[in-house]
Each structure stands twice: as structure tokens, then as C-alpha cells.
Amino acid sequence: MSAAIDDVQRRIAGREIDTVRALLHDLRQPLAAILLMAGAEGGDDRRKLDVIAGQAQWLSEVVETSLSEAATDEVVPTDVERIVRDAVDRAAATTACHLRVDIVGVRRAWARPVALSRALACVLDNAVRAAGESGRVTVSVVEDSLGTHVRVCDSGPGFGRIASRTSLGLTTTRAMVAACQGTFDIRDGREGGAVADICLGTVGLEAVAS
């Protein structure tokens, strides 16, 4: 077997390993939420079951989309509000920090629903860790001339100033946003912490899914 073929196979294998690792990274938080809810004593059993069901449904969608190589996750007019609220609900299951949703007018944008959900989950995981148990995280959806923005702002010490468990989170975010034909930017917030900005094509604009 030639050296060139060996090199190609190594590159393919590397991409496959990265894809698997990224998937495992994304599955970690919902699995932790399910275990937490299942082992919690007392409280509202109905709410616990609802949380477990919601996390399990999201796990199913992510795994199914990965197995089908995203064939079922196309760039379509997407209910951004539902994805944001579902992602915040999932994140709230494993944190005590204050989570807030602020949606101004915009409800739909061009995206791959599962890819956008994965990207937002990664950003929220980073924001919640940065904010800490007593901090604040706000997820807002706004529209401007560039498109529809899903912004995650935290009150933590700022991007790059918290210990990172893995480099996969932001790498996965960028890949998932790119799959939505959107852009991703992260910067320091005005009051400390960081602002992560996912920009998507607004439904009604011409630049869309190909």
C-alpha cells in the first residue's frame, strides 16, 4: 500500500475519531442530567420524569442524525425560539445559576435544527461553567441587517479565563454553526464574562439553503 494511500486513510480515521469524540462530548451533559434526576430524592416526580424524557428525546435526535450522517437535518426555516427554550430547560437541570431567555420578535431562522441545538448546548455548557452557581446566563434572540442572532451572555470571568475540560466544545460549535450556513463569534462582555454570538440567515432573506 502506497504512502499516499496510508496518509489518506489516517486523515479519514482522524476525522472519524474527532466526530465520535465530538458526539460523546455533546452526550455528556444530558446523560449527567438524566442520572441527576433519576437519583434525586424527594421533589416533584412528574417534573423529574419530564426532564428525563426531554433529555432522552434530545439524545435520540442527536444520535439518529449522526447515524444518518445528517441526511435528515437539512437547512430549513427553523423554530429558533423552541430550540432556545428547550436548550435552556436542559441546561437548567444541572445548574443553580440564573438562566434567562430574552426573545425580541424573531421566531424563525435558516438552520439545521439538530446542528443548531448541538451548537447552543455547547455554548450554554461553557457559559454555565463560567458563570458558576451564583452567576447569570442570558440567551437572547435578536435580528439586525446581518441576520438572526442567538447570543449567550454570561457573568463569569470571561472567555479563556476558566479551566477548559476539552477543546471540543467550541470546535463542535463552529462546525455545527457552519453546517447551518451561519457564523460564530465570541468576545468579552461589557460587564465581564463573555458573549457568544451565533448568526443565522433570517427567514425571508434570499441567502439560503443550497
Q: Give the residue extent of every domain in the chain.
A: 3-202
SS3 28: helix
Give me the mean pLDDT over the 148-157 stretch. Answer: 90
Query: Grid coordinates standing for 50?
Result: 419530564
**More confident call, 163 vs 202:** 202
The residues, any chain, with a CB within 8 Å of residue 123's CB and separated by 6 or more, are 152, 169, 173, 196, 198
Give me the mean pLDDT over the 50-78 stretch. Answer: 72
Strand 98-103 with 136-144, pairing: parallel
**More confident call, 209 vs 179:** 179
Give me the mean pLDDT over the 78-103 stretch. Answer: 89
**Residue 46's pLDDT is what?**
79
The chain-wide mean pLDDT, for the chain, equals 77
Give me the mean pLDDT over the 146-154 stretch. Answer: 94
Please provide residue 161's backbone torsions phi and psi, each rounded to the nearest 5 degrees: -115, 15
Q: What is the CATH number of domain 3-202?
A: 3.30.565.10
Please provide residue 2's backbone torsions phi and psi, each rounded to the nearest 5 degrees: -70, 160
Q: Give the type of residue at 108.
A: R
CA distance 9 to 88: 40
Is the confidence at residue 17, as pLDDT, over 50? Answer: no
Give me the mean pLDDT over the 11-36 stretch. Answer: 63
Is the confidence at residue 7, as pLDDT, over 50? Answer: no
CA distance 52 to 35: 9
DSSP code at position 205 = B
Query: Grid coordinates standing for 41?
Result: 430524592
Give me the mean pLDDT over the 82-95 stretch. Answer: 87
Q: Exposed, middle or buried by CB within 10 Å (0-12, 13-18, 19+), for 44? A: exposed
The residues, any chain, with a CB within 8 Å of residue 208's CB and separated by 6 or more, are 75, 110, 181, 201
